[in-house]
């Protein structure tokens, strides 16, 4: 049976996972019980957020050919996932929204694919969408190929028009709507080169992803570049640090649909999983016994944002979490580093504090959310960009390309805020539908905390995305949060009477009966300075009643911040306390007098 290896790449929300679902259904690779929306997004966080976080592989059979498919994330923060899996494939399906055209992450993933020598198939998706402009999308894709230095062969890309949601694809727009997805699968068979068997050469299997099973232990997923892999085979593991060790392969697994099945032997070119080697890591190469020929290590772009992770030392520490010690936190972070290739850890002088480096706020917030669901308690600081020095010794910082789509009437306020954050306008156009696209070049520092402001200013109708551009000259100070915080001066349970008085001063984040402690942030002050308030004060009761003397207590519903919104709200002198059940904003220094002495009081 011939083998084709493809990856589906695109900007976030352009329909990669939906297209994969469509292929799985058409080829009968999923059962009725497994069938649901976004089948490949198996992670609970992925299902909740509606985005792909982890790259996953599957396999389908079509016309006596095995097609191995890798579904990749579309968000820039998870670019490390894309970089490490593209090397396994021989071609990519580049999905482009028929309305949006190429977006920031499209450039990033296409650039990586072209560097590997792939000749992508362009899939113009959502051609059934209102306002779709497929001709515009194709023109912009051609321009993008040219900008990225594509060869003549790569520029001669085949085009398929599709509606992944409705389950059809066509070779020509005039044929739409189509009947099924077969035109796309036929194009894959015709355009993607079949894997050339290299079974006679020494074994080379590179690990690109890790899994775990309680019965067989660590499972490594990767591609066999040469040779064959057999169950029970003795092999040599060549690690990325140059060390080698001998092991026995206990299991070899193949893929079909969502299922992983055992097999006795796998041939070169196939994407499989193996078990039996306890200390495999991403980038390691499994070779013939005594003949280690390691493949080049997997390279990913450097992190641009850092946060401090530390043990929870608030007055409520240890009340909700199962894992609360420094040792627990260190072990969990070490475990994450094994599989998350875009993440790095730096030691600090304080043994209870770790500096974690990642690709963006979302990249780090997904790790934090995963940890709290596993029962961890921790505190995190405000995200900071990673600064560097150039050859002349000048300080440099990361810049991003930001693209926003929003109703025209909201663009003025958004542009004003981005200018305040040291952004530079690159382009602006308004579509006939009234949607304005604004493109900016802005320091990554200027984007920290901007997403919440953008959603608020555009009444939730705006869409924004960004990608890392380069390191460039440091832009100087960027103004931080405009508003101060409402800070508790006492401990206990917040009362409705006290919060009724406090809500006049700003916007509350908590509701009555919420446990509070001194230094905990209760809400956002309407002014630019911090304000200490008493949220636990009770109304003094008397036995004298008079008509009309008691006012009805009417509380405005509090703004319940999500994890991402809480991180965006943080200022330099604040922390976020994360537990399995709660998110609490707090000042680093809880005591008000000590805060003033330290010069942190606003």
Q: How many alpha carbons lie under 13 Å from residue 338 in its C-beta half-sphere?
A: 16
Residue 433 CB partners (closer than 8 Å, separation 6+):
131
Ligand-binding site membership of 355 (annotated) = no
The β-bridge relationship of strands 378-381 and 285-288 is unpaired
Ligand-binding site membership of 248 (annotated) = no
Ligand-binding site membership of 18 (annotated) = yes
> What is the number of other CB atoms lying within 10 angstroms of the CB of residue 82?
25
The β-bridge relationship of strands 2-10 and 91-97 is parallel
> What is the number of other CB atoms lying within 10 angstroms of the CB of residue 254?
17
CB 492 within 8 A of CB 516: yes
> What is the number of other CB atoms lying within 10 angstroms of the CB of residue 552?
5
- Tokens representing residue 243 in the block: 């060390």
How far is it, in rounded angstroms, from Cα 183 to Cα 170?
A: 6
Each residue of 308-326: b (16+ CB within 10 Å) or e? bbbbbebebeeeebebbee
- Tokens representing residue 65 in the block: 């050919």
CA 181, chain centre distance (Å)? 29
The β-bridge relationship of strands 305-310 and 384-385 is antiparallel
Torsion of CA 365, 582, 44, 74, to 10 degrees: -20
Torsion of CA 321, 325, 330, 331, to 10 degrees: -70
Residue 85 CB partners (closer than 8 Å, separation 6+):
7, 55, 57, 70, 72, 208, 209
Strand-pairing partners, residue 474, are: none
CB 405 within 8 A of CB 352: no
Ligand-binding site membership of 31 (annotated) = no
Phi, psi of 469 (to 5 degrees): -100, -60
Ligand-binding site membership of 126 (annotated) = yes
Ligand-binding site membership of 118 (annotated) = no
Tell the residue number behind the tokens 């190929």, with chain if given. Answer: 145
CB 1 within 8 A of CB 64: yes
Each residue of 97-123: b (16+ CB within 10 Å) or e? bbbbbbbbbbbbbbebbbeeebbbbbb
> What is the number of other CB atoms lying within 10 angstroms of the CB of residue 81?
26
How far is it, in rounded angstroms, from Cα 529 to Cα 485?
A: 7
How far is it, in rounded angstroms, from Cα 167 to Cα 18?
A: 9
How far is it, in rounded angstroms, from Cα 101 to Cα 529?
A: 44
Ligand-binding site membership of 380 (annotated) = no
Q: How many alpha carbons lie under 13 Å from residue 89 in its C-beta half-sphere?
A: 33
Ligand-binding site membership of 452 (annotated) = no
Residue 296 CB partners (closer than 8 Å, separation 6+):
none
- Tokens representing residue 214 in the block: 């309680």
- What CA–CA distances, in Å, run from 582 to 111, 369, 376, 578? 41, 11, 11, 6
Binding region for GTP: 13-18, 125-128
Binding region: 13-18, 125-128
């Amino acid at each position: 049976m011939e083998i084709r290896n493809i990856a589906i790449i695109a900007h976030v929300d352009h329909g990669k996972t939906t297209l994969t679902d469509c292929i799985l259904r058409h080829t009968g690779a999923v059962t009725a019980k497994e069938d649901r929306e976004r089948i490949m997004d198996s992670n609970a966080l992925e299902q909740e957020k509606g985005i792909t976080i982890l790259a996953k592989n599957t396999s389908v059979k079509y016309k006596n050919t095995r097609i191995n498919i890798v579904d990749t994330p579309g968000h820039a923060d998870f670019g490390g996932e894309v970089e490490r899996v593209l090397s396994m494939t021989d071609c990519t399906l580049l999905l482009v929204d028929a309305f949006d055209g190429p977006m920031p992450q499209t450039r990033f993933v296409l650039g990586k694919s072209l560097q590997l020598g792939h000749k992508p198939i362009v899939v113009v998706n959502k051609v059934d969408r209102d306002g779709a402009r497929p001709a515009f999308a194709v023109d912009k894709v051609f321009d993008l190929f040219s900008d990225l230095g594509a060869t003549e062969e790569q520029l001669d890309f085949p085009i398929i028009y599709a509606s992944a949601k409705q389950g059809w694809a066509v070779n020509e727009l005039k044929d739409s709507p189509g009947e099924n997805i077969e035109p796309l699968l036929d194009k894959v068979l015709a355009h993607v080169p079949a894997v050339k068997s290299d079974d006679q050469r020494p074994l080379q299997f590179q690990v690109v992803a890790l899994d775990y099973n309680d019965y067989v232990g660590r499972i490594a997923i990767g591609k066999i570049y040469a040779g064959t892999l057999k169950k029970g085979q003795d092999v040599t593991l060549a690690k990325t640090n140059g060390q080698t060790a001998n092991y026995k392969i206990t299991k070899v697994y193949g893929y079909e649909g969502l299922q992983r099945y055992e097999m006795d032997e796998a041939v070169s070119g196939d994407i499989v999983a193996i078990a039996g080697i306890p200390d495999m890591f991403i980038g390691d190469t499994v070779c013939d016994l005594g003949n280690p020929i390691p493949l080049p290590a997997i390279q990913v772009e450097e992190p641009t944002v850092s946060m401090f992770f530390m043990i929870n030392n608030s007055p409520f520490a240890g009340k909700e979490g199962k894992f609360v010690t420094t040792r627990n936190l260190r072990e969990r972070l070490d475990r994450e580093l094994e599989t998350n290739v875009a993440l790095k850890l730096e030691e600090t002088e304080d043994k209870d504090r770790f500096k974690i480096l990642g690709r963006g706020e979302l990249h780090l917030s997904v790790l934090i959310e995963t940890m709290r669901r596993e029962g961890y308690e921790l505190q995190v600081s405000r995200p900071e960009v990673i600064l560097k020095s150039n050859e002349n010794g000048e300080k440099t910082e990361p810049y991003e390309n930001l693209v926003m789509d929003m109703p025209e009437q909201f663009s003025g306020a958004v542009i004003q805020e981005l200018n305040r954050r040291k952004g530079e306008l690159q382009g602006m156009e308004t579509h006939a539908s009234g949607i304005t696209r604004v493109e900016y070049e802005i320091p990554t520092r200027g984007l920290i905390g901007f997403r919440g402001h953008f959603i608020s200013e555009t009444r939730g109708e705006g869409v924004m995305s960004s990608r890392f551009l380069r390191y460039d000259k440091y832009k100087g100070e960027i103004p931080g949060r405009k508003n101060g915080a409402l800070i508790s001066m006492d401990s206990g349970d917040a009362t409705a009477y006290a919060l009724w008085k406090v809500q006049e001063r700003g916007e509350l984040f908590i509701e009555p009966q919420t446990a509070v402690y001194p230094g905990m942030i209760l809400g956002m002050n309407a002014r630019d300075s911090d304000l200490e308030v008493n949220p636990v004060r009770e109304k003094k009761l008397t036995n004298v009643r008079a008509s009309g003397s008691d006012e009805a207590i009417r509380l405005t519903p509090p703004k319940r911040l999500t994890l991402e919104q809480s991180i965006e709200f943080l200022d330099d002198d604040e922390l976020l306390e994360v537990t399995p059940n709660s998110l609490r904003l707090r000042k680093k220094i809880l005591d008000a007098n000590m805060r003033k002495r330290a010069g942190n009081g606003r």
